[in-house]
Amino acid sequence: MAVENKKVITEKSLPEFAMILMKNMSFMVVLFIAFLMCMSTYGIIGEGSAKDFLSQLPHIQGAPWKTPVLAFLGLCTLMLLINIEKRDTKTVVYCCIAELLMAGWLTYIVNFSYTGLILLIFADYMRYIRTTRYTYFMLATAFIIYIIANSDILDSSLGLVPLSSYISYYNTYVRWLISGAISLCASLNSLLFIVYMIFIMHRQTVENRHMQDMNKQLNDLNKQLKAANIQLEENAGKIANLTKVEERNRLAREIHDTLGHVLTGVVTGIDACNELITVAPDVAKKQLENIANAARQGMTDVRRSVKALRPDVLETLPFAEALEKMINEMVLSTRVHISYENSADIGNLSEDEEDVIYRIIQESITNSMRHGRATEINISITGENGNIIINISDNGIGCKKIKNGFGLSHMKERLDMLGGSLGVDGSEGFKVRAVLPLRLK
Amino acid sequence: MSKKAKKRVLLIIVFINILAVISIYTDFYGMGSRNIITVGAFTGSYWDVQNGNSYKILDRAIEKFNEKYPDVRVEYKSGITKGNYSSWLYERLLEGNAPDVFFVFDEDFNPLSELGAMKDLSRIMERDKDFDKDKFYSTAFSCGSYKDKQYALPYESAVNLMFVNKSILSGAGISMPSSDWTWEDFYSICRSITRDNNNDGINDTFGVCNYTWEDAMVSNGVELFGSDGSIVNLSSEGSAEALAFIERLNKLNDGYTVTSNDFDLGSTAFQPLMFSQYRAYKPYPLRVKKFSSFEWDCVTMPKGPRGENTSYMDTLLMAMNNDTHNEKYAWELMKILTCDEEIQSLIFEYSEGASPLRNVTDSPEIINMLEKEESIKSSLLDYAMENATVTPSFSDYASAVRMIDSAVNEILSGDSNISMSLIKKQRDINNYIHNSP
């Protein structure tokens, strides 16, 4: 035991050491009192003063040998209960009730001559209580019980025999020694309990303060994060606007460079032809041919410009593969589960149709993730009566009132241009249904 | 070992420990001794009379019990004297191995009831259809009750009777008093007997010795104690009358204190004695030894103006251990010892007391026997038993009586007014009793 204690001192903190001391001391004292009660009773019987002794008792006690045996078994049980590691609340509650009952009973069988076990139990409870308010409550309860147990209120109502009746068998010196030792242990036990409580409460205060600090830090960081998020959204909006402006400028430039140029040529050429047609019809004819060529060239240029607006993958890969690639990239970059099914023949679509389908799917996935916070998205493309039907549904929060800000108007516009239609439903997740009539190439 | 397994082992140990605690605490291991009944008994007679018949009644009762339950062994430790029995019983109780059934002395009954050493028999008596408490003299039966609970059954009783020296009475030409005689009859006999026969200036025959204030109060209907042990009637008129009567009797003796020795020598007419003593000394060998010089008889105690011819009853009781594991057999044995008429009639044969059973004490055979061998008038014993009173049931009865005794002696030896002094004493004693722990 001594070796173990030494190890404990170095390894464990002060409150745990106080707890170990309290446990060992209570064990010894209770067992000692139980033995004392037993031995003095046999002494009294041997001395022949059983009648006088019994006349002091409020009622017959059990066989004297039972007291130390029961005390030993009870103490072992109590110590085991204290040492059981209590992890979940249920174990804590059951063990604490069992401990309280056992300690109360043990205190009863030694006739309340040592009440330190009650403090020991409460010291054990304290380890499992984290809230400061409960700590004070338990502390108050412990002291009330301790004071009641130490008062003489119980003596008469429970019919207890004071220890002094038992030790009156011994001579004055031994009596003095015994009662001195027991009261010393009791005082020491109370002192240890107080030390233990101070340390535990100090530790709890420190822990609480630490927690408060952490909370504050977390709050600050959270605020910062929110601000950054708002900034980011603003920036994103700006970027989108900038992109739009850039795109418009490019289109304007393109129109100006190609169509403007060509149309200017065409207008000028046609004006010239107007003049020439009566004077020199042959020249005019030749001129008209040139104009037609220029217009054709312009047409090619316009086509080239439009092509430049298309996503890159659609240029480089076949449409079906481009779609799969886009979806795979989404899955890889966002961890959203996307199931994709395609039963329609989409290998033979015109570019604008490909564009529309591509953009609808892309926009819907983005919407589901951004606004619907969905984790699962189902995409199916089917062919039906010369129509291509695209169904996209998700498990997100949906949207009770559908606002036309989620790129839906773009989708609708694009589809309208190709004679298709768009249906959306935000009641249970978000569902998009696009119908696109096929043109035969 | 993993933490979970360790916890499980700990829980199993805790469980085993708790089982062990419960089985020890409840005496579970003692349940095995179902077929042995132990009896606490003593040698010698309860009435302080030597006789060689100590265990005869018990042995016969055990025999009778074994006829009914041959598998159950009844054991008792022989050789414990009457003087040691009480402390022996207390020691066994303290040790936790008291016998299942034991005799209880009248004086131990209140403290043992207070200690909870005896089983409350009320429930058992109610359940047992064969048991009829009305078979007992009610006073004897109530000797075994304490605070409305029946803890013991009467085994053997004796009442206080007035011994009469017939020789003195007939010498003075006075006939034997009848059993409903009064204080005045008693006083006038005493007065006429107290005289100086040889003219030496000193009285040589006396009226009575050892007649106490208790005898006077009981026969004047005074109930001194309340149920909680406080003295309620010490200052009543009945008490004052009783003390005044004692004072009158004492005055007859001119300051001489008459002792029982005077009665033994044949110079005193009356002395209250237990019925058991009468029976002990009446038969031939002992009578020669003690009272050879005169003829003697016994009669009931004289009654006061407010009372009856009542006297105290002393009863040897039989109780069951509160912790017995053999309640059924213990009760059967108790019943045989206390309620069986054959066993109870043996009391008149082997002991000096009287049976607390009406049918036995009042049976023609017993009356016949008593009349023939001991010349006790037929109805006297039955009458005395029927009209006896019982000592009150609270644990400090003995010390309360001691206190009243010294108070009464103080009053009688002083000159002050008896009623006034009694009021003061009652207050003093009650204060003392209520303030003591």
Work out the minimum CA distance from A34 to partner chain B, whole angstroms. 14
pLDDT per residue as tens digits for the range A166-201: 888 888 899 899 989 988 998 998 898 888 888 888
Q: How many residues can be counted in chain A?
A: 441
The Cα–Cα gap between A304 and A147 comes to 97
Which of A283, A308, A333 finishes a domain? A308
Same domain, B146 and B75: yes
Residue in the structure block whose two tokens are 């338990």: A138
CB A396 within 8 A of CB A431: no
Contact residues for A219 (Cβ-Cβ < 8 A; gap 6+): none
Give me the number of domains chain B comprises: 2
Same structural domain for residues B244 and B336?
A: no
**Are A267 and A166 in the same domain?**
no
pLDDT band at B104 (very low <50, low <70, confident <90, very high): very high
Radius of gyration of chain A (CA): 46
Q: Is the pLDDT of residue A11 over 50?
A: no
User: For residues A147 and A144, what is the distance between their CA atoms, to the nearest angstrom?
Assistant: 5
Collect all residues of chain B within an 8 Å Cβ-Cβ radius of residue A76. Answer: 13, 17
Q: Are residues B181 and B194 in the same domain?
A: yes
Judge whether B19 lies within some domain: no
Same domain for B292 and B319: no
Listed range (A96-110, A227-241, A295-309) with the worst mean pLDDT: A295-309
Q: Do B129 and B170 reside in the same domain of the chain?
A: no
Looking at residue B193, its pLDDT comes to 83
CA proximity to A96, closest of A74, A66, A64, A126: A126
| Cβ–Cβ gap B96/A61 under 8 Å | yes
pLDDT number for residue B284: 46
Domain span at B192? 159-312
A14 within a domain of the structure (yes/no): yes
Q: Which of A48, A50, A77 has the CB atom closest to B18's CB atom?
A: A77
A101 close to B (CB below 8 A) = no
In this prediction, residues B271-298 reach a mean pLDDT of 68
Residues A205 and A240 both lie in one domain: no
Q: Is pLDDT at B282 greater than 70 in this prediction? A: no
- Helices assigned H by DSSP within B208-298: 213-218, 237-251, 260-264, 275-281, 284-290
Cβ within 8 Å, pair B87-A59 = no
H-assigned helices in A57-162: 66-83, 89-109, 116-126, 132-150, 153-157
How far does the CA of residue A59 sit from the closest CA of chain B (Å)? 4
From chain B, the residues in CB contact with A57 under 8 A are 115
Rounded CA separation A214/A208 (Å): 10
Containing A436, the helix (H) or strand (E) segment is strand A431-437
pLDDT at position B119, please?
Answer: 92
Q: Which residues contact B250 (CB under 8 A, 6 or more apart)?
A: B412
Inspect the interface and report whether the beta carbons of A74 and B10 lie closer than 8 Å. no
Tens-digit pLDDT profile for residues B140-150 = 898 888 888 89
A405 conformational bin, left if phi > 0, alpha if psi -120 to 50, beta if neither: alpha
Answer whether A51 sits within 8 Å of B21, measured CB to CB: no
A154 versus B63: the higher-pLDDT residue is B63
pLDDT, tens digit (0-9, with 9 covering 90-100), for A35-54: 999 999 999 888 888 888 88
B117: contact with A, CB 8 A cutoff: yes
Judgement on whether residues B345 and B321 belong to the same structural domain of the protein: yes
- Residue A8 has a pLDDT of 42
Whether residue A125 lies inside any domain: the answer is yes
Count of residues making up chain B: 437
**Same domain membership, residue B378 and residue B303:** no
Domain final position from B283, B312, B341: B312
Bridge-partner residues for B270, per DSSP?
B164, B208
What are residue B163's DSSP bridge partners? B271, B298
Residue B213 has pLDDT above 70, yes or no: yes
C-alpha A118/C-alpha A101 separation (Å) is 10
More confident residue, B53 or B375: B53
Using CA atoms, how far apart are residues B334 and B64, in angstroms rounded to an integer? 12
Chain A contact for B14 (CB, 8 A cutoff): yes
| Gyration radius of chain B over CA positions | 26
Domain count, chain A: 3
- What's the confidence (pLDDT) of residue B286? 53
Return d(Cα A3, Cα A240) in angstroms, integer: 74
The residue of chain B with its CA nearest to that of A109 is B25
Chain A residues lying within 8 Å of B115, measured CB to CB: 54, 57-60
Q: B186 and B285, same structural domain?
A: yes
Can you tell me the mean pLDDT for B46-62? Answer: 81
A85 touches chain B (CB under 8 A): yes
Q: What is the pLDDT of residue A9?
A: 43
Does B168 share its domain with B192?
yes
Q: Is the pLDDT confidence value at A7 over 70? A: no
pLDDT above 60 (res B249): yes
The range of the structural domain enclosing residue A283 comes to: 228-308
Q: Quick one: B185 and B288 in the same domain? A: yes
Q: Do A150 and A43 belong to one domain?
A: yes
Residue B429 distance to chain A (closest CA, Å): 21
**Last residue of some domain: A308, A332, A351?**
A308
What are the C-alpha distances in Å from A230 to residues A31, A125, A239? Answer: 71, 48, 14
Q: Does A54 touch chain B (CB under 8 A)?
A: yes
Q: pLDDT at residue B395 above 70?
A: no
The reply to whether A133 and A150 lie within a common domain is yes
In chain A, whose CA is at the least distance from the CA of B19? A73
Nearest chain A residue to B84 by CA distance is A48
Q: What is the pLDDT of residue A60?
A: 82
Do residue A201 and residue A66 come from a single domain? yes
Span B409-427, pLDDT tens digits = 888 777 777 777 888 888 8
Q: Does B437 touch chain A (CB under 8 A)?
A: no
List chain A residues with CB under 8 Å of B109: none
Q: What is the pLDDT at residue B283?
A: 54
Q: A2 pLDDT band (50/70/90 cuts)?
A: very low
Share of chain B above pLDDT 70, in %: 89
Q: Are strands B152-165 and B296-299 parallel, antiparallel or unpaired?
A: antiparallel
pLDDT of residue A352: 79
Q: What is the mean predicted confidence (pLDDT) over A291-309?
A: 76
Same domain, A273 and A384: no
Q: Please state, in angstroms and rounded to a whole number, the distance separating the CA atoms of residues B208 and B363.
A: 33
- The reply to whether A400 and A333 lie within a common domain is yes
Residue B429 lies in a domain: no
What pLDDT is attached to residue B436? 56
**What does the pLDDT read at residue B229?**
63
Residues in A 56-75 with any Cβ partner in B closer than 8 A:
57-64, 66, 69-70, 73-74
What whole-number distance in Å separates Cα of residue A100 and Cα of residue A55? 32
Name the amino acid, one letter, at A99. E
pLDDT > 90? residue B153: yes
Backbone φ and ψ for B195, nearest 5 degrees, come out as -160, 165
Residues A69 and A207 both lie in one domain:
yes
User: Angle at which helices A66-83 and A116-126 pack, to 10 degrees?
Assistant: 10
Tell me, yes or no, whether A282 and A431 share the same domain. no
Supply the pLDDT for residue A6.
45
Neighbouring-strand partners of residue B354: B157
* pLDDT in the model for residue A228: 94
Name the more confident of B1 and A207: A207
Let me know the angle formed at the C-alpha of A276 by A272 and A280, rounded to the nearest 5 degrees.
150
Selecting from A61, A62, A73 the residue whose C-beta is nearest the C-beta of B17 gives: A73
Are residues A336 and A267 part of one domain? no
B9 interfacial to chain A (CB closer than 8 Å): no
Size of interface A-B (CB pairs under 8 A): 81
One domain for residues B256 and B340: no
| Across A192-218, average pLDDT | 87
Q: Which two tokens stand for residue A412?
A: 């609708």
Q: Which of A51, A61, A92, A109 to mutate to test the interface with B (most CBs of B within 10 A)?
A: A51
Q: How confident is the model at residue B102 (pLDDT cuts 50, 70, 90)?
A: very high
What are the tens digits of pLDDT across the range B217-231? 888 888 877 766 666
Is B94 in the A-facing interface, judged by CB distances under 8 Å? yes
DSSP string, A334-390: H--EEEEEE-S--TT--HHHHHHHHHHHHHHHHHHHHTS--SEEEEEEEEETTEEEE
- The closest of B222, B203, B233, B245 to B412, measured between CA atoms, is B245
d(CA A161, CA B336): 37
Q: Are residues A18 and A159 in the same domain?
A: yes
pLDDT in the model for residue B285: 47
Q: Give tens-digit pLDDT for B327-385.
A: 889 999 999 999 988 898 888 888 888 889 988 888 888 888 877 766 666 678 888 88
If you measure CA to CA, which chain A residue comes closest to B86? Answer: A51
At residue A232, the pLDDT reads 92
Terminal Cα-to-Cα distance of chain B (whole angstroms): 58
Q: Whole-angstrom Cα distance, residue A329 to residue A338?
A: 11
pLDDT at B304: 86
Regarding whether A126 and A19 lie in a shared domain, the answer is yes
**Confidence tier at A399 by pLDDT (50, 70, 90):** confident
For residue B315, the cross-strand partners are B157
Picking from B9, B15, B21 by the largest number of A CB atoms within 10 A of its own CB, the best residue to mutate is B21
- Structural domain includes residue B25: no
Q: The domain spanning residue A369 has which CATH number?
A: 3.30.565.10
Domain of B317: which CATH number?
Answer: 3.40.190.10
What is the tens place of the pLDDT at every residue in B58-91? 999 999 999 999 988 898 988 888 888 998 999 9
Question: Which region, left, alpha or beta, applies to residue B137 given φ > 0 means left and ψ of -120 to 50 means alpha?
Answer: beta
CA distances from A431 to A387, A413, A415 (A): 19, 18, 17
Which of B245, B250, B267, B212 minimizes the C-alpha distance to B404? B212
Question: 3-class DSSP state for residue B222?
Answer: coil
Which of A41, A81, A83 is facing B94, going by the closest CB pair?
A41
- The residue among B386, B401, B424 that closes a domain is B386
Average pLDDT score, chain B: 82
End-to-end CA distance of chain A: 95
Domain finish residue from A157, A187, A218: A218
pLDDT tens for each residue of A67-119: 899 999 999 999 988 888 777 778 888 888 888 889 988 988 888 888 888 88
Query: Residue B395's closest chain A neighbor by CA?
Result: A55
Classify residue A245 as exposed, middle or buried by CB count within 10 Å of its CB (0-12, 13-18, 19+). Answer: exposed
pLDDT at B233: 73
Nearest CA in chain B to A64: B95
Q: Which residues of B touch A73 (CB under 8 A)?
A: 17, 20-21, 24
Average pLDDT, chain A: 82
Answer for the pair B418, B341: CB distance below 8 angstroms, yes or no: no
